[in-house]
Each structure stands twice: as C-alpha cells, then as structure tokens.
C-alpha cells in the first residue's frame, strides 16, 4: 500500500510540475508572446542623427519613423552608437539624446521599466535607493541583450559602440565586464558602496569618464553607508580616463548643465574611431 501511495504522489508531483511549466509558457502568450527582457528592447527609445535637411529624430525602436530615417541614410551606413542606461525612475534626458544625435551618434535607450516583474529600487521623493539588489543583475542583462540585438542591425557600427549610464544605470555601466564598448561614461554614481556595486569592472584598457556632484544628496552619509566620494580611486592605469567632481552643488542631475553635456560629447568624439 505504501508503495502505491508513493507512486500516486510521484505522479501527482510530475503532473504539477508539468502544469507549472505549461502555465509559464502560457504567461508569455498572455502578455503578447514576448519575454520580460524582450520588452526592454521593444520599448526602447532611439535617437538618430540628421539626414539631409531633416534634423535629428527621437522615436521608438519599432516605429515606422525609425525605419524611414535609417532608409534615408542610404545603403551601407554605419552609425557610431551609444547604449544609454537610464536611472531608477525611467527614461529621461531627451535633450542629451538629441545632442548626441546632432553630433552624429545613434542612441539606443532600453526601457528597464517595461519589464512586467521589475521591483522599484529607489524612492525619488526621499532621494534614496538600493531597495532591491536584484535590479543590478537586471540591468547587466539588459546591456547584454541590447548588444545581442544591436548585432543584427546593419546600421550600427560595431567598432564604435559606447556605453553611457546614469545613476542606477551608471552602476550598470560601471559593473558590466564586457569588452564591446570603445569607451564608457558613468554619471551620477560614486563607484563606492557595498561589494556588489563598488568599483569599475570595465577592462583596464577601456577609457572611462565619470561625473558626479560633490553634494549629491542620494549618496549622503545620512542616507547611505560608504557611498560618498567619486570614482577616481578606480581610475589607476586606465588610459584617457577622468573622474570629474562638480563642486558645491547639492543636486543629483549632471545633465542640467550644457558644460557637462559638452564634456561628455567631446569625450565620446575623441574616443570614436575613424
């Protein structure tokens, strides 16, 4: 009798697991047939350079406007491309994207908040973050997935890829270990804190520009543990790299200054290959 009970229970367990797997597959269909990570790409913002008399355009990854602009460049175009990782509150800094596009860069901005299962790891009203460390793994995956998708776009110049990250996205830009990018820009992040977020993991030959405000309230001693400072400690041995601290400002945003924006554009232009 006991053997029979075990057999029935075992079959029930197998059936339960099978139903769970089927349910998991069904969830993809219920939500439009795409995975969570695919959503970040499908909902990405794209900025593209001028074409003829038409100025730069900011559109969506799957919008007709994007396809039409690419077609206007002509066959064989290869655009230097910036992969931009936004902060914890979502996509912003559109004026910055436009400035990069005017300088000849394409900009691809995956939407991390397009995920269905995505914990918010910050409170913008209280200017505090770090509530969910799983998010840092999410952002690394978004970089890798975007690179995979960009490899299929014939207008992306894969010899001129750049990574720019802001705040939470700056952590991702700092910690990504791949060698695909010619240079990186890390803004609104100090490179300090818990072991899971500290440092710069980019290969040592990759130039890095970091920018943070000295009085950034998000990293104050009253709100964080050990996140004060800047990324200069991690610049040793990196060619053409710089840690810039904007003194005297108790604010988070570094894109509010045209001077800071131009500093980033110059850095990317100088690192761009021929």
pLDDT in tens, 97-139: 999 999 999 999 999 999 988 877 777 777 777 667 778 899 9
Backbone phi, then psi, for 66, in 5-degree steps? Answer: -65, -45
Q: Residue 194: its pLDDT value, please? A: 86
The pLDDT confidence band at residue 223, using thresholds 50, 70 and 90, is confident
195/120: higher pLDDT: 195
How many of the other CB atoms lie within 10 Å of CB of 162?
25
Which residue has tokens 């100088």?
Answer: 270
Mean pLDDT taken over the chain = 88
What is the rounded distance in angstroms from the CA atom of residue 145 to the CA atom of residue 133? 19
Tell me the range of 7-21, 49-63, 247-261 where mean pLDDT is highest: 49-63
Cα separations (Å) of 43 from 10, 18, 62, 236? 43, 32, 8, 37
What is the rounded distance in angstroms from the CA atom of residue 1 to the CA atom of residue 7? 10
- What predicted TM-score, i.e. pTM, was given to this entire model? 0.86
What is the rounded distance in angstroms from the CA atom of residue 39 to the CA atom of residue 32? 10
Comparing CA positions, the residue from 243, 118, 110, 120 lying closest to residue 189 is 243
DSSP letter assigned to residue 90: B
Between strands 183-187 and 208-213, the pairing is: parallel
Q: Residue 48: its pLDDT value, please? A: 99
3-class secondary-structure state, position 261: helix
Q: What would the mean pLDDT of 65-88 be, rounded to a whole number?
A: 97
Name the superfamily (CATH) of residues 34-271.
Answer: Alpha/Beta hydrolase fold, catalytic domain (3.40.50.1820)
Q: What would the mean pLDDT of 17-29 be, rounded to a whole number?
A: 41
Q: Residue 120: its pLDDT value, please? A: 79
Which residue has tokens 């491309």?
Answer: 81
Q: Residue 157: its pLDDT value, please? A: 98
Q: Residue 131: its pLDDT value, please? A: 63
3-class secondary-structure state, position 243: strand
What is the rounded distance in angstroms from the CA atom of residue 265 to the CA atom of residue 267? 5
43/5: higher pLDDT: 43
25/238: higher pLDDT: 238
Indicate whether 173 pLDDT > 70: yes
Indicate whether 5 pLDDT > 80: no
Decide: 48 and 59 in contact? Cβ < 8 Å: yes
3-class secondary-structure state, position 156: strand
81/6: higher pLDDT: 81
Tokens of 117: 């299962």
The pLDDT confidence band at residue 32, using thresholds 50, 70 and 90, is low
How many of the other CB atoms lie within 10 Å of CB of 234?
21
What is the rounded distance in angstroms from the CA atom of residue 85 to the CA atom of residue 91? 8
Q: Residue 127: its pLDDT value, please? A: 74
How many of the other CB atoms lie within 10 Å of CB of 218?
24
Q: Residue 74: its pLDDT value, please? A: 92
Q: Residue 101: its pLDDT value, please? A: 99
Cα 105 from chain centroid? Answer: 16
Q: What are residue 118's DSSP bridge partners?
A: none
Decide: 273 and 79 in contact? Cβ < 8 Å: no
3-class secondary-structure state, position 103: coil
What is the rounded distance in angstroms from the CA atom of residue 226 to the CA atom of residue 153? 41
Comparing CA positions, the residue from 131, 260, 124 lying closest to residue 186 is 260
């Amino acid at each position: 009798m006991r053997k029979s009970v075990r057999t029935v229970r075992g079959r029930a367990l197998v059936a339960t697991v099978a139903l769970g797997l089927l349910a998991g597959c069904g969830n993809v269909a219920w939500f439009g047939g795409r995975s969570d990570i695919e959503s970040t790409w499908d909902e990405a913002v794209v900025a593209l350079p001028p074409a003829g008399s038409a100025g730069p355009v900011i559109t969506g990854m799957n919008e007709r406007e994007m396809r039409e602009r690419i077609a206007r460049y002509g066959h064989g175009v290869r655009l230097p491309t910036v992969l931009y990782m936004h902060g914890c509150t979502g996509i912003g800094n559109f004026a910055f994207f436009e400035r990069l596009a005017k300088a000849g860069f394409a900009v691809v901005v995956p939407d991390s908040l397009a995920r269905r299962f995505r914990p918010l790891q910050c409170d913008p009203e209280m200017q505090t973050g770090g509530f969910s460390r799983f998010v840092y793994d999410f952002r690394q995956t978004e970089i890798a997935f975007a690179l995979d998708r960009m490899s299929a776009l014939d207008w992306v110049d894969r010899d001129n890829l750049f990574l720019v990250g802001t705040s939470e996205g700056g952590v991702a830009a700092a910690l990504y270990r791949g060698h695909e990018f010619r240079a990186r820009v890390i803004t609104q992040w100090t490179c300090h804190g818990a072991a899971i977020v500290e440092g710069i993991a980019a290969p040592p030959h990759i130039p890095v520009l970091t920018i943070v405000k000295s009085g950034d309230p998000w990293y104050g001693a009253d709100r964080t543990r050990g996140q004060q400072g800047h990324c200069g400690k991690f610049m040793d041995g990196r060619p053409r790299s710089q840690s810039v601290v904007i003194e005297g400002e108790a604010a988070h945003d570094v894109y509010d200054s045209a001077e800071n924006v131009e500093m980033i554009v110059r850095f990317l232009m100088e690192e761009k290959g021929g």
